[in-house]
Each structure stands twice: as structure tokens, then as C-alpha cells.
Amino acid sequence: MSCAWKNHNCRIGLIVGTGSNACYVERVENCDLFDGPKAGPNIKKHVLINTEWGAFGDDGALDFVRTEYDREIDQHSINPGRQLQEKMISGMYMGELARLAIVRFTKAGLLFGGVGSDILFKRGQFFTKYVSEIESDKPGTYYNCREVLEELGLEHATDEDCANVRYICECVSSRAAHLVSAGIAALINKMDETSVTVGVDGSVYRFHPKFHDLMVQKIRQFVKPHISFDLMLSEDGSGRGAALVAAVACREAQ
């Protein structure tokens, strides 16, 4: 709503932050469960659909791409077996996914000479912001990465260790961006309009240095050739968007 107020071509809303979800504009005639009137001179032609896509995969549809790290994340979560796609995408879990991979390779002797730290081995101590900070380093430099590793008690890390930690972070964040992009591309293709703007909010999208570019590249790969799209950063979606919805509701009531 916040983006649509500025850009009337905005037809999809996306959040990639602590959690992840998307909504889109659908034609009323396609909504079998819509219980409002579907015909008449003053009837709205479209309705907003909340996909609740964080729960995609709860039926096993994502089992073929879930890893041992995903399963461990789910096992130790407050809602095992639920919100499985969200656990592969969102900021609540991204750092922990990277930590689990780093821990496995450390214990296998492939990182840090096989010597970890108490902080590294403690669940939840590799924050998602670390992923963004590490990937913000210029290629071949490891200033941010070394700062993160020092905070984790890994002062003995070599340049090769830093390069490998960065690669792990890139794998985790790229997978998240690609999963989000596949969902957005599916919505764009379903709507089948010539041009669509996607309003995006959330800390992962906002602060990760490559998330936007990764999404643009992957969405372009998936959408139909005749459809153009763009991603628009939402500003104060929770505040401005809620205010706009309240204003429209008041107008309709009057």
C-alpha cells in the first residue's frame, strides 16, 4: 500500500525481514473463496490475496531442496514442521543456517584448522547481520569478515578461512534470494500483466548488499519475456500503509 500510493503500477507486496510473506492483486472471478458480490456496476474487479507463503513446503513440497541445516533449524524452532519456506529465507534464520555450515566444516577440520570457539558453537550467536557485513567486503578483502570472526573468538582465522566463510554466507543468502524470486516470478506470471512493480520491505532486502541484484537477475530468468517488472523499496510500510488502508476504509464506510 505504501508503494502503490506513489506508484500505481505496484501490484505485489513483499517482505523479506525477520519473516517473509507476499501479497498480490487478483481478479475477483479467480477467487473461488471470495464471499463478496462478484457482479454489478459498482463491484470491485480485484481483491488482495495474502499468500502466507512462509508456510509453503509444510506439506512436503520443499523436501527435495531442504538440507540437513534446514532440518536442524526446524527441529530447534518454536514451531517444528511449520513455516518451512520462511525458515529457508528470512532474517530470523539466515545467520543460524550459515553458523551450522561453518560449525560442520570446522569440526571436519576444513575451517580454522579444526579449532572453533565457544561462541561459534553456541546456537544463535552468528547473527544475520554478520552475513550482510561479510558480503559487504570488497573482493579479496576481509576487513568486515575478520571483525566478525574476532567477535566470535576466531582470531586465528586465515585469509583462506575468511574466503570460505564468505562463500558459505553467499550460498545461504543467494539461495534465499532465489527462493523469494521464484515465488515473485510465479505471481507475476499468474497475473500476466505487461508491467508490474513489486513493493519490497524488510531488513534482509534493505541491508544485504546483493539481495536486490540477485532478485532482479533471477526474476528476469523466470518471468515471461513480454512482462517487465521493477522492485521498489517500501518506505514506512507499516505506518504509511496502515494509514492508507484506514483512510480508504473510512471513505468506503461513509
Q: What are the pLDDT digits (tens) for 90-140?
A: 999 999 999 999 999 999 999 999 999 999 999 999 999 999 999 999 999
Query: Per the structure block, which three cell numbers stand in for 125?
Result: 550467536
The third-level CATH classification (topology) of the domain covering 1-69+176-253 is Hexokinase; domain 1 (3.40.367)
Instruction: Provide mean pLDDT across the span 27-55.
Output: 83
pLDDT of residue 33: 83
Domain boundaries, the chain: 1-69+176-253
Contact indicator for 171, 164 with CB cutoff of 8 Å: no
Pairing of strands 195-201, 228-233: parallel
**Which of 189, 248, 249 has the alpha carbon at shortest distance from 220?**
189
* 0.85 exceeded by pTM: yes
